[in-house]
Amino acid sequence: MLKSFADIFRVPELQKRVLFTLAIIVAYRIGAMIPVPGVNAEAVKSLFAAQSNGLLGFLDMFSGGALNRMSIFALGIMPYINASIILSLLQGAHVIPYLDKLSKEGEQGRKKLTQITRYGTLIIGTVQSIGLTMALSKMPTPSGMPIALDPSMSWIIMTVLTLVTGTALIMWLGEQVSEKGIGNGISLIIFAGIIERLPSAVIGVIKLVQLEELSILLALFLVVLVLAVLIAVVWVETAQRRIPVHYAKRMVGRKMYGGQSSFLPIKVDQSGVIAVIFSVSLLSAPLTIAQFAPNLTVFGFPLAQTISNWFSHGSIVYSLIYALLVIFFCYFYNSISFNPKDLAENMKKSGGFIPGIRPGEPTSTHIQKILERVTLGGALFVACIAVLPDYMRNVLSAPFFFGGTSLLIVVGVSLDTIGQIESHLIMRHYEGFMKEGRIKGRWFHVR
């Protein structure tokens, strides 16, 4: 495997792509360290220290720590993801015929959809930045210090413009990685933000053991549990249900074609971390309202307080809704990315058939049934992994820093990126990372 990593730098094009990707990630991490002018860093730090396991701490994970520094990248990539969710939902529900038309126009249609997503990102980013800026200018902190040193209108306008520009820059950086680098740019940006927290998490556990606030046995149990979850996630992310497909023999001119056997691979977790990211984005909306407007009431009903109680991390209601959203988005993603009818029709045209199943509609129905059963198993697994950290914190009172969403993203992005690197190596007659077989990346993407 070490030899395969060394081979990366023997292929000029691949070396250029890898170094370009690393340079973009470094640039992103530098931007995440640059604070917005006029913000009291100590006040922000005390606020996030008090809510590290709450909504702000959870959203901070997706911003790579930029939110708790109130940096120019504080909004992270969430506006882009939210815009992608809205566009995907509109396409899946067939609400706007124009979007359906664009999705069928190939490369040109994809470019137009990407452009629409960019405009949506700017709109959502503007709304979120205004809400975040106004809330932080009035939000009390545990230390009693104000977050905004001078909450004037000029500071609010400057902060909003800075945050929106930062989001646009992150979006551009991600697209540059996808085009000129290796891997999916948006996913790698989220990946870099999570990995950045790893050293501090490990140091935190070690300090807890030294202070005897965490027993050595419990710490070892957490290490074993994280490794077990990691192995399970890798296994599920690479697992496939293979449907056998046979091709009938046919004469074309003087040559005989077909007569071969193949298989149709259906991944157990087709959506990967996209379902988790979409679920987090939707859950963050009511929680954001409750966080930034704690006194919000509707006809005398304390709406903000009720949402805070029901949707607080670790509560039964929150975990249940989170799990149901993950399952829903797993099925939703498959419905827009996998069409059994088109697959059966293409198989019929090429002379392919599933043994024991008639071509056409019966084949489509058979594939749909298998897809639904396989998706259910993958969706339930992802939902269980997603709510695991809250369970560990509440039941065992243990600091389970890495698990659930973090592990799903880290494993998924790693498999995808290594899979693309391996494809480049094999295409140029180099060995892959494994002597037998190949690493099966998931090739997920956010539009």
In a domain, residue 416? The reply is: no
The share of the chain scoring above pLDDT 90, in percent, equals 8
The mean per-residue pLDDT over the stretch 42-65 comes to 70
Q: pLDDT tens across 180-221, in order?
A: 888 888 888 888 888 877 777 778 778 878 887 778 887 888
pLDDT value of position 344 = 86
- Place 51 in a pLDDT band, splitting at 50, 70 and 90: low
Range of the domain at 128: 10-212
Query: Which contacts (CB < 8 Å, 24+ apart) does range 310-318 have?
Result: 311/283, 311/286, 311/287, 312/54, 313/53, 313/54, 313/55, 313/58, 313/390, 314/53, 314/390, 314/391, 314/393, 314/394, 318/283, 318/390
What single letter denotes the amino acid at residue 9? F
Same domain for 385 and 341: yes
Structural domain contains residue 438: no
Could you read off the pLDDT of 422-440 as tens digits, one per residue? 877 777 665 655 555 555 5
**219 inside domain:** yes
Same domain membership, residue 305 and residue 202: no
Same domain, 33 and 140: yes
Residue 320 lies in a domain: yes
For 400-421, write each residue's pLDDT tens digit: 555 567 777 788 788 888 888 8
**What pLDDT, on the 0 to 100 scale, is given for residue 122?**
92
Residue 435 within any structural domain of the chain: no
Same domain, 175 and 283: no
| Residue 436 falls inside a structural domain | no
Q: How many CB atoms lie within 10 A of CB 228?
A: 10
Structure token pair of residue 220? 């070892």
65 vs 124: which has the higher pLDDT: 124
Same structural domain for residues 208 and 250? no
**pTM for the whole thing?**
0.76
CATH code: domain of residue 386? 1.10.3370.10
- Mark which of 169, 192, 212 sits at the end of a domain: 212
- Tokens encoding 227: 């490794």
End-to-end CA distance of the chain: 32
Claim to verify: residue 221 and residue 191 sit in the same structural domain: no
Of 290-299, 340-349, 391-400, the range with the lowest mean pLDDT is: 391-400
- Reply yes or no on whether the pLDDT at 447 is more than 50: no
Residue 99 in domain? yes
Whether residue 353 sits in one domain with residue 232: yes
Residues 248 and 286 in one domain: yes
R_g (Cα) of the chain, nearest Å = 24
Co-location of 180 and 227 in the same domain: no
Work out whether the CA dihedral 257, 263, 264, 270 comes out positive or negative: negative
Do 145 and 279 lie in one domain? The reply is: no
Ramachandran angles phi, psi of 52, nearest 5°? -65, -30
**Residues 444/336, Cβ–Cβ less than 8 Å:** no
Domain end residue (candidates: 153, 183, 212): 212
Quick: pLDDT tens for 228-243.
888 888 888 888 888 8
Q: Report yes or no on 142 lying in a domain.
A: yes
Flag whether pLDDT at 370 surpasses 60.
Answer: yes
Domains in the chain, number:
2
Last residue of a domain, one of 196, 212, 228: 212
Same structural domain, 220 and 205: no
